[in-house]
Amino acid sequence: MKKRRDLKLLALFLFLLIVLTVVIFVRADYPMHKAKKEATAIAKEQAGIQEVTDFYWFTRKDTYFTVVGLTEKGEGLIAIIPQEGGQTEILKQSEGVTEKEAIQSVLDDKTSNEIKKITLGLVDDEPVWEIVAESKEYGINYYLVSFRTGDIIHTLHNV
């Protein structure tokens, strides 16, 4: 009898632990989900983006939510939305470099070989790709790549 009761208690404990873990993960993801939902609504209203292909959360001096997508006519647009409100920057995807091209600029620099994170936002009112990369020689490296030209405009090595 005691073994059966202990087994039931263990099963109950494991069940509660699993439920608690799921709740923690869901709640941890909520701010990102909420930001994406709100930014997508703004991008649809202000830029006419109908199909979202990418979402970025960009934080430097200010925080921006960037929605990348397609209009009803298939035109690629980017909406960069300030977290604190204000003017949404709307860009044509064709007027700048893609995520893959920005990554290639960093890899061509030869100081990094593994991309860890990439986001798109504004620095000093200019659209930039922020790329965090790693290499054995330089450790963690941080790059700002111009959206318009693909040039690396700022680098920090061994952060």
The enclosing domain of 49 has a CATH number of 3.10.450.40
Question: Residues 20, 88: one domain?
Answer: yes
13-17, 57-61, 126-130, 147-151, range with the lowest pLDDT: 13-17
The candidate with the shortest Cα–Cα distance to 88, out of 46, 50, 53, is: 46
Residue of higher predicted confidence among 21 and 25? 21
* Percent of the chain residues topping a pLDDT of 70: 94
Of the residues 68, 95, 122, which one is the last residue of a structural domain?
95
Tokens of 111: 């100081």
26-30, 53-57, 154-158, range with the lowest pLDDT: 26-30
Average pLDDT, stretch 71-95?
Answer: 95
Q: What is residue 128's predicted lDDT score, i.e. its pLDDT?
A: 98
Question: Residues 73, 143: one domain?
Answer: no
Question: Residues 38, 113: one domain?
Answer: no
Q: Which residue range is the domain that position 63 belongs to?
A: 2-95
Residue of higher predicted confidence among 13 and 155? 155
Question: Residues 19, 70: one domain?
Answer: yes
How far are the Cα atoms of 84, 93, 147 from residue 44, in angstroms, in the given order? 18, 16, 22
Q: With contact defined as beta carbons under 8 Å apart, do 131 and 103 qualify?
A: yes
Global confidence as pTM: 0.79
The candidate with the shortest Cα–Cα distance to 57, out of 48, 47, 67, is: 67
Residue-wise pLDDT for 39-81, tens only, equals 999 999 999 999 999 999 999 899 999 999 999 999 999 999 9
